[in-house]
Structures are given as C-alpha cells and as structure tokens.
Amino acid sequence: MTHRVYNFGAGPTMLPTTVMEKVQAEWLDYQGMGVSVIEISHRSPEFKAVLNEAIQLFRKLTNLPENYQVLFMHGGANLQWSALPLNLVQRSSTRKVQYYETGIFAKRAHKEATRYANVDIVASSADTNFDRIPPFDPERVDADAAYFHITGNNTIYGTRWHQYPDTGEVPLVVDTTSDILSWVVDFSKIGVMYASLQKNLGPSGVAIVIVRDDLLGQALPETPSLLNYEICAKDNSLTNTNNTFAIYVAKLMLEWIEAQGGVTAFEALNKRKSAVLYDVIDQSDFYQAVAHPDHRSDMNVPFNLPNNNALLEPFLKESEAAGLYALKGHRSVGGLRASIYNAMPMEGVEALAVFMQEFEKKYR
C-alpha cells in the first residue's frame, strides 16, 4: 500500500487522497482520449469544459453574485500584488491605495504596490509581532483611495479576520490564499478577492482572482496583458497557454469540496478541527499559542515550546516518525505550526493532539 502521512505543511501541502487518486487514474488516458489532460490543447473543447466547470463550481460553492468574474491568472498571489495597483490605481485622483499590515505577506503586498501607487498603511500589528488584527476604524477609509487591501488569513502568525471590514464605496481587496473556501464569505463587501491555489485548491503558481465587473477596464496602459483583469475576463483566462494542470486539479478540488457538503460543512469542520489543537495548547502551560485568542485562524495554528523552543528538534524528529509531517514554523518566526486546511481530516488533527500530549508528558 502507498505510504501517506498527515501533512501539516503550510503550502504546497496535502490534497485529499481521493483527488490524488483521480489524477493518477486519469493521468495517461483522460476520459478515453488516450492522452493526458496536460497533453491536450488549452483551446480544445475538453479543456475548455474543465475550465468552465471549475468556474461554475466556484460560483455555485460561494453563491457568487452574477456581477463578478472568476479568473485564473499566472504567478500566484505574488503577481497579484502588482496586478492590483496596475488595474485599479487610476481610480484614485492621488494614486492612493490603503493597506492593513498584519504580517509578512501583507507587507510584501504593499511593498510591491509602492512601484505604482502611494501606499497608505492604515494599521499595523508589527509592534506585537503580528499576533492580532488591529481594530478597524471606518474613519480611516479614504473615499479617494483606489482600494483597501487586507490579508484575510495570516498564514505565518495564525491570525484571521472573522468579519471583513465595511469599506463603503472603496473596493475591499482580500488576499484569501490561506483560507479560500474554508468559510462562508459575504461577497457583497468585496471588490477583488485573490488566492494562490496551493493550499485549498491544488498546485502552486496560479491564482484564482474574483473581480467585480465595475472594476474592469481601468488598468494603466503599461499593464502587461497577462495581468490585465479586463483582458483576462474577455479571454476567459486563456489569453495565452494557461497552466492547464493546475486548473484541472482545482476543478477536482472544487468537486471534492462540493461532495463533502460544500463550504458551510467545511466551516463547521474547520472550527472543530482547530478547537482540538487550541484546547491542547490552552490547557497546558507547556505549549504557548502565538496568536491572540480573539484573532485565531482555523487554518494555521502556530505555537511555541518552553524555553525558546529548546525542544524543537526532538519534537520535529519524533512527530515525523509518528507520521506527522512538516510541523516546523515559518523561518521568520520559528517554533511550530500546524496548517490544517480543508484536506486535513479530523483524524490527522486528533493524532497530532495525542502526540502533543504525550510529548508534553515525556519532556515536561
């Protein structure tokens, strides 16, 4: 039998075994064609069906209003950090864009924007090592800003927005790379949402981008075609040869999410999963949580060991031997982190909880 471990990596990370098996089963002969899905034209009817099914399924699973486009774009979330100002900055008479600074990815997002826009950092939790989301003050929203950017879930620090801020007429832009399709989102507040695929939707290198129709057609003239939302929407994400494999796996992931009961079911399951780990951490004085209790993520659970993580090496070695893979925290913060995206089953979380309790007994 194939050996599979529980993979707690932050991304790329585990996909459901059933999805991986489907990829394997169809690999050499896609639906009786005698070729792989990666060996057919991106403009063939068969691939267009894959793409359109993925888009329709995303719409269905999120109850996406009609006036939004679903795009697949190159370069993951990183390239969206340039695409956003290029497409939207002209909306502001002073080229102003507003950013919430809640972690390294949020910082990198506004750093890219400085090439094209005047960046206003609305709030930052840098002074508390990004352990929280600073309170939202509607007065700080500048009516002339081109957009207002937040990172929905902060992968490294394990914090999240539980409710998106109401930014009124200024389009809210949300990076949902690490929590897309993990909870039910009210799109009426959102102008643009973007996410790399490699946590809840499949392979890396591609972003899914959701754009409200009224935000199309305003790109700076120097915007590369492949970053232009209007061109991408008009070409249905096929301006050039897109990453057909990534889109194919995303379609399988969307089918899997639907078969498991949809986003509502995952929201409930994800709450139960994260609670198992937070309970172990909170009931012990051995483990310390990184995120403030009011801002905790259901996707990423970072925590520390006593004495500045002196026991990190034995924890990582023994957990890996127990089939619990990739628990090391992000290189910028150290410690440990359990990433528990949609594909992590409750059994994996429970196995980690038992391991943590036994490790504590052994070393405390």
Residues near ligand PLP (CB under 6 A): 11, 76-78, 105, 151, 155, 175, 177-178, 196, 204
Which of 105, 164 has the CB closer to ligand PLP? 105
Instruction: Name the minimum Å distance from CB 153 to ligand PLP.
Output: 6
Which of 19, 195 has the CB closer to ligand PLP? 195
Instruction: Name the minimum Å distance from CB 21 to ligand PLP.
Output: 25
Instruction: Name the minimum Å distance from CB 196 to ligand PLP.
Output: 3
- Region of residue 124 (phi > 0: left; psi between -120 and 50: alpha; otherwise: beta): beta
Per-residue DSSP letter, 111: H
SS3 150: strand
Per-residue DSSP letter, 40: S
CA atoms within 13 A on the CB side of 270: 29
Which of 105, 359 has the CB closer to ligand PLP? 105
Nearest by Cα to 165 from 189, 192, 195: 189
Question: Do residues 146 and 117 make contact, with C-beta atoms less than 8 angstroms apart?
Answer: yes
Which of 98, 155 has the CB closer to ligand PLP? 155
Question: Do residues 314 and 363 make contact, with C-beta atoms less than 8 angstroms apart?
Answer: yes
Task: Write 239-243 long-range contacts (CB < 8 A, 24+).
Answer: 241/42, 242/42, 242/51, 242/72, 242/74, 242/206, 243/72, 243/74, 243/203, 243/205, 243/206
Which pairing describes strands 159-160 and 148-151: parallel, antiparallel, or unpaired? unpaired
Which of 178, 237 has the CB closer to ligand PLP? 178
Instruction: Name the minimum Å distance from CB 3 to ligand PLP.
Output: 26
Which of 204, 260 has the CB closer to ligand PLP? 204
Beta bridge partners of 337: 302
SS3 330: coil
Which of 92, 243 has the CB closer to ligand PLP? 243
Nearest by Cα to 336 from 321, 356, 322: 356
Which of 109, 145 has the CB closer to ligand PLP? 109
Instruction: Name the minimum Å distance from CB 90 to ligand PLP.
Output: 24
Q: Which residue is nearest to ligand PLP (CB)?
A: 76
Instruction: Name the minimum Å distance from CB 105 to ligand PLP.
Output: 4
Angle at 75 between CA 73 and CA 79, to 5 degrees: 95
Instruction: Name the minimum Å distance from CB 358 to ligand PLP.
Output: 30
Instruction: Name the minimum Å distance from CB 301 to ligand PLP.
Output: 14
d(CA 228, CA 38): 25
